[in-house]
Structure 1
Amino acid sequence: MTGNTIPVYPTVRPAPFDPPAELSELRAREPITRMVYPDGHVGWIVTSHELARAMLSDPRFSARSEFKRPPVSRPGAEPFYGSPALPGWLVDMDPPEHTRLRQQLAGRFTARRMRELRPKVDQIVDQLLSDMEHHGPPVDLVQHLALPLPSQLICEILGVPYDERDEFQRHSETLFSLQATAAEASAAMDKLYALLRGLTKRDRDRGEGLLAMLAEDGTLDPEEIAGVGVLLLTAGHESTSKSLALSTFALLSHPDQLAKLVADPTLTDNAVEELLRYLTVFHFGVPRTPLEEVWFGGRLLRAGESITVSLPAANRDPGWFGSTADRLDIERRTTGHVAFGYGIHQCLGQNLVRMELRSALPALFRRFPRLHVAIDPGQVPLSCDMSVYGVQSLPVAW
């Protein structure tokens, strides 16, 4: 990017764990600057940690889907962006609707609730690792651990039968794909809503899971409960699966950091936070739109202009994380990272993701101390064509 050229959102990565270099260049030169969106709209991109947190906590910037534009080409977003939010889809709402829905859910995902779930998570992890051991190397870590762990757990929390996983995983993949057409994404969403409607009705009668509790409470209508279920089911397994597999790949690629973690398990919590920061699987950031004319970061932003807050750029900002921000350092002070966003829309399930990683990563390396990537690391397939970044598969042996 040179001269007065207005950039597009960069997507080419210099290495598997590093965001596009252009993001760092923009952050150093103009932490809020113009950006061209795929539909030709000229909006903005925010790349600094300070401005990212300021914008994400400022009520003048809306998260409503009516105003959203994807920063990269994503035909599957067309049925959902530019239109009012689907019932229950609180990530696409502002207060008071967002507040009303989130208040019904926040208490179910507190750190205390997650600690209560920890024995169950450890049990699932132990069984999955035993199955891996029984299968024998090589195995795909995604299919044997990173995907089934969050899928089983979110199914249990919601009250969704785990034998429905093939269906919801298939439709979820369509929704997160950058290649899916508008018709494919719309059909996938319709099928997921239909699935959750049926499960909510069944579970209300049986009194099982979060969906049943919401139905019994009666505060949310059936379509909102179905929408909340779709949101939690898809996001609840997709982001954790990508984070767990990519974190394993990163640790195996940084043996010095892995050795520190193995030698000192008390580093686990901090290692998880550093991996979340360093990898930032929501690699296209989050959209916001000013509801009024706003002076922000020395720029005049007009009502209706699209803004992309680049979470990967903010999480590599040396102004907050120091001169080694581009390195993986599990002993780093990670306070303030925005891997889960920031402000009122900060990821509802962040404590669940943390707890699953804190359980799975140490257990994996205890069980398989000689774990290694079973193919050339340069050949590990990356999911650059998904809105959540990660590896498509990770063959490992021990």
Structure 2
Amino acid sequence: MTDALSEPNLFPMARAARCPFDPAPELGHRMEEAPISRVRLWDGSTPWMITRYADARAVLADPRVSVDVSQPGFPHTNAVSKARDAQMKTLMQMDAPEHTAHRRLMTSDFMIKKMEVLRPRIQQIVDELIDDLLAGPNPADLVEALALPVPTLVICELLGVPYVDRAFFQRVAGALVMDEGDPAQAMTASEELNVYLDDLVERKNAEPGDDVLSRLAVEQYRTGAMTRREISTMGQLLLVAGHDTTANMIALGTAALLAHPGQLAAVRDGDPALVANAVEELLRYLSITHTEARRVAREDLQIGGHLIRKGEGIIVVKSIANRDPSAFPAPDRLDVRRQARHHVAFGYGAHQCLGQPLARVELQVVFGTLFRRIPTLALAVPLEDLTFKHQAVFYGVRELPVTW
């Protein structure tokens, strides 16, 4: 094998068409032979790539690495990513203490106990959408019928965003999460959504309701603690990530289970504890975040015996870290009975996903309901005919034709 340190490969690396649920084969080779090595990005920069589970957790928990995209050496994965990073400063681009203060504002809204209170409402949403699916044409696209509407409805109700506006913000989100195309178009889409949320925050301030944006408008905007734009930017992150990530996990997780009928049967016939376990395994197995966790060293540090110098970029590849055999025996096998909750699909450390309690409940309800209510659910086309989102921030399928 060519020395990965002397001739860095281009990142991101291509998945194998025959294995759409697996990370790029080159990532597996790197994890075995050069677990901490250089990669080459679109702009010629050569950040470090971290592939092993223990090293990934070490980097993600290390206060000496930064998520600040304005720092020299920060690894922007493409031109769209760089433009998006430059324009939007959210929790994902903040270091402590600023990150700590902003995250604290939202922590109570996504506590596990609060998300469990939402479970009956999420169950109602899922059941109603499955009712509509069964009453409609067969075959049907599960993305449009279930995967996209479930998290969209939930995050809209939680934030206080009118669901009737979903066509607008889904269109805008679609431009924001694609890592190809014209950066200017992505930034125009981002500004469109910010203007929309700016106006919504103003309306919430005038007539607050029982939702997150109303609370922020009253507690932060009205008191001068945050500007309207700061709240709308936070709202944009929550709205886009809150529906697009889970939508992709629902569709891709369904496709993976349909491709593994033995695992699907266990989920369909299992109790809630097994379904919850299956969700963790699907999160590990699929690891949908394509942009991975990007950082830059704020000072010299040693990771896995390698010296990473101040100002050097770091890409933590969570998808392959979740396939590390030292953490997950037989990692390329989907096993819904595996104890996999220690995966890093939601990240690790201070910047792990704020909305993970909500995502877990949504996925548990969907996978615990869909196959029980439609036991004959099957792909309406061969797996190889599905179109996957290779150039998006979140990996998934564009459409999921199913029959029953």
> TM-score, normalized by length of structure 2?
0.95
Amino acid at match of 1:156: E
Whole-angstrom CA distance in 1 between matches of 2:290 and 2:333: 17
Q: Which amino acid aligns with 1:294?
A: L
Would you say 1:62 and 2:66 are equivalent positions?
Answer: yes
Q: CA RMSD in A?
A: 1.3
Distance in structure 2 (CA, Å) of the matches to 1:104 and 1:10: 34
2:332 is aligned with 1:330: no
Q: State the Cα distance separating 1:31 from its structure 2 match.
A: 1.5
User: For residue 215 of structure 1, what is the aligned residue in structure 2?
Assistant: 217
CA distance in 1 between counterparts of 2:349 and 2:12 reads: 25
1:115/1:125 Cα in 2 relative to 1: closer, same or farther (>3 Å)?
same
The SS at the match of 2:31 is helix
| Distance in structure 1 (CA, Å) of the matches to 2:8 and 2:40 | 6
Q: Which residue of 2 aligns with 1:313?
A: 320
Paired with 2:120 and 2:206, the residues of 1 have a C-alpha distance of 28
Deviation at 1:42, TM superposition (A): 1.6
Is 2:133–2:140's contact at 8 Å kept on the other side of the alignment?
yes
- Deviation readout 1:84-140 (Å, 9 max, x if unpaired): x735x1110101111111000011101101000001100100110011011131110
Residue 80 of structure 1 aligns to a residue whose secondary structure is: helix
For 2:105, the aligned partner's letter is Q
Give 2:310's aligned amino acid. A
SS at match of 1:79: helix
| Maintained 8 Å contact 1:284/1:311 | no
Q: Show structure 1 runs of 5+ residues with no match.
A: none
Q: Counterpart of 2:276?
A: 269
Aligned counterpart in structure 2 of residue 282 of structure 1, from 286, 289, 311:
289
**What is the aligned residue count?**
392
How far off is 1:10 after superposition? 4.4
SS at match of 2:327: helix
Is the 8 Å Cα contact of residues 10 and 22 (structure 1) preserved in structure 2? no
Helix, strand or coil: the match of 1:120?
Answer: helix
Identity %: 41
- 1:328 is paired with a residue whose SS is coil
Offset of residue 281 of structure 1: 0.4
Which of 30, 34, 44 is residue 26 of structure 1 equivalent to? 30
* Structure-2 residue corresponding to 1:169: 170
Question: Which of 81, 86, 108 is the matching residue for 2:88?
Answer: 86
SS of the aligned residue for 1:35 comes to strand
Q: Is the 8 A contact 1:76 1:184 kept in 2?
A: no
Q: Deviations over 1:5-50 (max 9, x none)?
A: 2222243212110011111111111211111121111210000000
Counterparts of 1:181-196 in structure 2 under 5 Å? 181-196=182-197
Counterpart amino acid of residue 395 in structure 1: P
Matched, 1:385 2:400: no
1:292 alignment partner, SS class: coil
Q: Deviations over 1:332-351 (max 9, x none)?
A: 11131000011110001111
- Residues 84, 186 of structure 2: 8 Å contact kept: no
Moved over 6 A (4+): none
Counterpart check, 1:354 vs 2:356: no
AA in 2 matched with 1:336: H
Residue-by-residue CA offset, 1:142-168 (whole Å, 9 max, x unaligned): 000000111111010010000111111
Residues in 2 aligned to 1:395 and 1:171: alpha-carbon distance in whole angstroms: 24
Q: Does the CA-based 8 Å contact 1:111-1:351 persist in structure 2?
A: yes
